Amino acid sequence: MTDLRSQLQGLWLPLVTPFRDGELDETSLHRLVRHYADGPVDGLILAATSGEGMTLGIAELERVVALVRAGISESGRYLPICLGLSGASTRKMLDTLDETAAWPIDGYLIASPYYLRPSQRGLRQHFSALADHASWPIVLYNIPYRTAVNLTNETLLELARHPNIVGLKDCCADRTQSIDLLRRRPAGFRILTGEDAQYYEALGDGADGAILLSAHIETETFASVRTLLREGNRDAALARWESIAELTRLLFAEPSPAPAKYWLARTGLIERAEVRLPMVEVGAELAAQLDAEMARRREASPQAA
């Protein structure tokens, strides 16, 4: 186990969950883990939105965690893992924290309760109860366009004082709110953007890193954008960003993670692009666009994709 607060920076990957004939594809999952563990990834998020976590049963979740931890161990490095959790019932979430307390993870990424649209007071009490109870540190996940409720900065600043709440995946979709939080956050409270298309801007605003589905592709390029910015080479960082900015649009042209899974299957990292209902695989038009982009990148650089 590592200190999640210190590890929560850089480029984190919300790993997709590969399936084959409706079941977990363990062979593809192992291949994915070994591939990314050998690259410039600073941590993994499992079973969140990109990992189709809400379609996984508790036994499948446990199996995914065990397989990923084993694959990381084979790589010879320690890569921190956060388990994505979400739910509208505080009581059920507390039960899930109990069920997962002994798993080989480093923390949780927990989204706001969906559908119910609780007040800010309700959100504070919900996350405080989870943080009081959890055996592992919690990273908050603010994504109001999915949950229908926004964690305001006042609420986030209050929650950030809890010793077991160590950071935020910021998908508030309001740059003004994000910049204000970055300016006012307490020391040691980590903020990573989860908005793929705003990666460059968020780093420039002071984010500690990012959790990006798009970084399944061109991982080294995504990582180099942050490295170059930290070195003060903004021109080179911008050039790198501009080389992958269009990729973030394509990978979200249909509901995620279907486009990314299509790309990963076409390039051989996973066997199939299969997703679980209510998600569906990409349509023919987007598939053709993704194929064309893959071909373009192969022509530009044999190592791309």
Residues recognised as catalytic: 141, 169
72 is in an annotated binding site: no
From the list 262, 252, 249, 256, the residue with the least C-alpha distance to 288 is: 262
What gap in Å lies between CA 304 and CA 131, rounded to an integer?
41
CA angle (185 as vertex; 183, 187 as ends), nearest 5: 115
Q: Give the number of other CB atoms < 10 A from CB of residue 178.
A: 25
211 is in an annotated binding site: yes
DSSP state of 216: G
* 194 Cβ contact partners less than 8 Å away, ≥ 6 residues apart: 14, 141, 143, 169, 170, 171, 210, 211, 212
CB-based burial label for 145 (10 Å; 0-12, 13-18, 19+): exposed
What gap in Å lies between CA 112 and CA 24, rounded to an integer?
27
Binding residues for pyruvate, by number, are 50, 211
Bind-site residues = 50, 211
